[in-house]
Amino acid sequence: MKKASDEDVSLPLQPFHLLTFRYYACRSQLLLLILHKIFHMSFDYNTQRKKMSLPEYGRNVLKMIEHIKTIRDPEERNQAARTVIQIMGNLNPNLKEVTDFRHKLWDHLMIIADFDLDVDSPYPPPDRTKLDAKPNKVPYHNGNISYAHYGRIVPALIDAAAAMEEGEEKEYLTGLILNQMKKDYITWNNKGQVNDELIIRDLELMSGNRLKAPENFRMVEIKELVTPPKSKSQGRYQGRSQDKYQGRSNKQGKKKHKNGY
């Protein structure tokens, strides 16, 4: 019997190597094709899209309104606008609690459409100039504060009290100002104590000697002006310890009662 040579043994392995080579070649070509499509794909980012005037309605509502602009038939365009109004009402059910919520929905429709939508609205469109108008600037006081811990309200109170006529009302207001100054001094200077004479001297300096402390006037104590902060443990576990021990005493009493009989 003839023995198989080395060449005969290697012949069946050649088709298998050829198939594996073709498989990996096709796989590499497919991978290159996928990478080519990924790198040449145009991604749609929110930063590249049109800015939404009212983002709470979402971009789908914006696309619907943009589609309404392309409808040529007026009746079909009005019907599509009423449908979008219903969708907007479903997206924001809280508006139903507001008076004239349908008027507000039609206003929002015009705002999202950038006031470029030819439909028969049952309400007049909102004024664009009022929407684009910038709010007035908040007036800020310029200048330094001589006593930062007293702020701006205390000097205003001092000026108002100094302009009053002599009498009980002026003395009463002066006393309130002194107590407020004492409270502010303790609060913002992080000091637990302050001399009352220091507060009176500050009052005289800030008023230009127009105000003085009333005779026989005593300021309120510090503990009455500033309430001590509550600790977390005191507020959270207050009253539990007594109930806990009370429950133990009740259990012990029950055990004694059972043992007694």
CA distance 255 to 260: 8
Give residue-wise pLDDT tens across range 209-229. Answer: 888 888 888 888 877 776 666
Give me the phi and psi of 146, to 5 degrees please. -65, -40
CA distance 68 to 79: 10
CA distance 255 to 195: 61
Q: Is the pLDDT of residue 43 over 90?
A: no
CA distance 167 to 164: 8
Helix, coil or strand: residue 95: helix
Can you state the percent helix, strand and coil of the chain, rounding each to 5?
A: 65, 0, 35
- Taken in order 93, 96, 102, 105, is the CA torsion positive or negative? negative
Residue type, 21: F
Q: Which residue, 129, 119, 103, 102, is CA-closest to 64?
A: 119
pTM reported for the whole predicted model:
0.43
Do 181 and 150 touch, CB atoms closer than 8 A? yes
| For the chain, domain boundaries | 55-131, 148-225
Give residue-wise pLDDT tens across range 156-194. Answer: 899 999 999 888 899 999 999 999 998 888 888 777 778
